[in-house]
């Protein structure tokens, strides 16, 4: 260190003459030498200059940091109080420093052409964290912290940025009258108006709200978001093992909730139920939303007149591993790009005949418009069941029976 000071005497002399405190003086050479704090490094620089006959003491008030480091014990106490108010496995400290201080620091770096300084925010983050650690009893995590305590060094205030809780699972939807997610009113966009009777949404509840509102209360969180592996129409049921989803809770105060209790409470209704709840990482959201899982459906079909049972069965069997082209359906073209999508129907069976009605069970690629496969959607799906049967058909009820997805 002494040899380095001798080689950089002009920079050391100039910076010391600025009246910097020991910490700020040491930070100007923060990446030189190891095993010492910046205040020790600053004293070494000042002592070395003194041995050369140059008495360059620190100013009563540091012209760079304005003695903010003297407030670190108070900052650390505020951090501990805030972090101890939420559940987490780890934490990290961040700081918000006055822009004028940051600019003065950069000006000094440029003025003295410094090659190895440490930023004031870096030192504050580290040193406040070291002081807070014994009061928090949780490890510091730099890569993926569950809680970041942001200290505003101007006022000593601490704001917490708490990483969301992500809960994976599957849901069943038994009602044909609720959507998967909250559906804001088209007129007021959530504000409340006569069109939605002041509720701000088109439907009284949703799968998302049934579980999300309970999870929000259990975690003390701020808001919930629902990420499903696709979605069924409002008038469709989701049966079988259910549809995979991830529930996201923002700013939770409590992370380690009882998922069995959440499953029990959210299933106490006749509209939806939930199973296989487990905590997941953020990456699961994109994995679920990007998954292309085959789906099995059962649909109730009404034909335009009485149908021949054998003709229906033969038509169903003719769609074994059949490739179809589907142009964006009329019913969703106002919100979907007008594209032709290539899908495969893996198999179809027919049963439960009753006059002009029957049922189909079928397995298809992810993203297949099943109602349009049956009806043809005015020729926008080719080939389609109605055209091949020679009788116009429509789906009167649709159930999703299975989604072929397995956790990696």
- Any idea of the CA torsion for 28, 142, 94, 223, to the nearest 10 degrees? 160
Q: Is 268 a catalytic residue?
A: no
Quickly tell me which residue has 């910076």 as its tokens.
15
In CATH terms, 295-403 corresponds, of 3.30.70.3190, 2.60.40.60, 3.20.20.370, 3.40.50.10860, to 3.30.70.3190
pLDDT attached to residue 7 = 67
Q: Which two tokens stand for residue 321?
A: 């591993």
The separation between CA 249 and the C-alpha centre of its own chain, rounded to angstroms, equals: 9
Q: What pLDDT, on the 0 to 100 scale, is given for residue 202? A: 82
Tell me which CATH code domain 165-289 carries.
Answer: 3.30.70.2510
Q: Which of 67, 152, 213, 233 is catalytic?
A: 233
Q: Which CATH superfamily is domain 65-162 in?
A: THUMP superfamily (3.30.2300.10)
Write down the pLDDT at residue 5. Answer: 66
Query: Can you name the residues that pair with 96 across neighbouring β-strands?
Result: 152
Contacts of residue 358, defined as CB under 8 A and 6 or more positions apart, other chains included, come to 301, 303, 307, 309, 312, 350, 351, 352
Q: How many whole angstroms separate alpha carbon 125 and alpha carbon 118?
A: 12
| Residue stretches of the chain with pLDDT short of 70 | 1-7, 33
CA dist 210 and 264 (Å) reads: 12
Q: What is the spatial distance between Cα 347 and Cα 241, in angstroms, rounded to a whole number?
A: 20
> Is the preceding peptide bond at 275 cis, omega within 30 degrees of 0?
no
Q: What does the alpha-carbon distance between residue 362 and residue 51 come to, in Å, rounded to a whole number? A: 89
């Amino acid at each position: 260190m002494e040899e380095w000071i001798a080689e950089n005497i002009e920079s050391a002399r100039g910076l010391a003459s600025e009246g910097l405190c020991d910490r700020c003086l040491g930070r100007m050479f923060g990446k030189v030498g190891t095993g010492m704090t910046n205040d020790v490094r600053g004293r070494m620089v000042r002592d070395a200059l003194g041995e050369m006959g140059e008495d360059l003491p620190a100013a009563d008030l540091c012209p760079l940091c304005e003695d903010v480091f003297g407030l670190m014990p108070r900052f650390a106490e505020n951090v501990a109080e805030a972090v101890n108010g939420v559940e987490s496995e780890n934490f990290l400290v961040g700081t918000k420093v006055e822009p004028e201080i940051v600019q003065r620091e950069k000006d000094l770096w440029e003025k003295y052409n410094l090659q190895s300084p440490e930023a004031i925010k870096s030192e504050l983050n580290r040193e406040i964290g070291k002081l807070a650690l014994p009061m928090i009893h949780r490890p510091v995590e730099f890569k993926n912290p569950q809680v970041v305590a942001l200290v505003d060094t101007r006022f000593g205030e601490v704001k917490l940025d708490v990483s969301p809780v992500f809960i994976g699972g599957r849901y069943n939807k038994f009602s044909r009258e609720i959507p998967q997610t909250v559906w804001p009113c088209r007129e007021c966009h959530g504000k409340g108006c006569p069109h939605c009777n002041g509720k701000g949404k088109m439907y009284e509840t949703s799968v998302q709200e049934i579980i999300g509102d309970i999870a929000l209360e259990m975690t003390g969180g701020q808001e919930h978001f629902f990420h499903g592996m696709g979605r069924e129409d409002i008038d469709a049921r989701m049966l079988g093992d259910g549809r995979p989803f991830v529930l996201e809770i923002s700013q939770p105060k409590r992370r380690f909730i009882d998922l069995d209790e959440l499953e029990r409470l959210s299933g106490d209704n006749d509209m939806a139920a939930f199973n296989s709840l487990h905590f997941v990482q953020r990456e699961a959201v994109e994995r679920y939303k990007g998954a292309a899982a085959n789906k099995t459906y059962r649909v109730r079909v009404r034909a335009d007149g009485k149908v021949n049972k054998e003709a229906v069965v033969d038509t169903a069997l003719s769609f074994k591993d059949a490739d179809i082209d589907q142009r964006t359906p009329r019913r969703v073209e106002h919100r979907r790009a007008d594209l032709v999508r290539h899908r495969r129907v893996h198999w179809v069976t027919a049963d439960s005949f009753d006059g002009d009605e029957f049922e189909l069970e079928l397995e298809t690629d992810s993203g297949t418009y099943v109602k349009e496969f049956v009806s043809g959607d005015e020729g926008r799906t080719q080939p389609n069941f109605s055209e091949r049967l020679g009788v116009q058909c429509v789906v009167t009820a649709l159930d999703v029976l299975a989604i072929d997805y397995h956790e990696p």
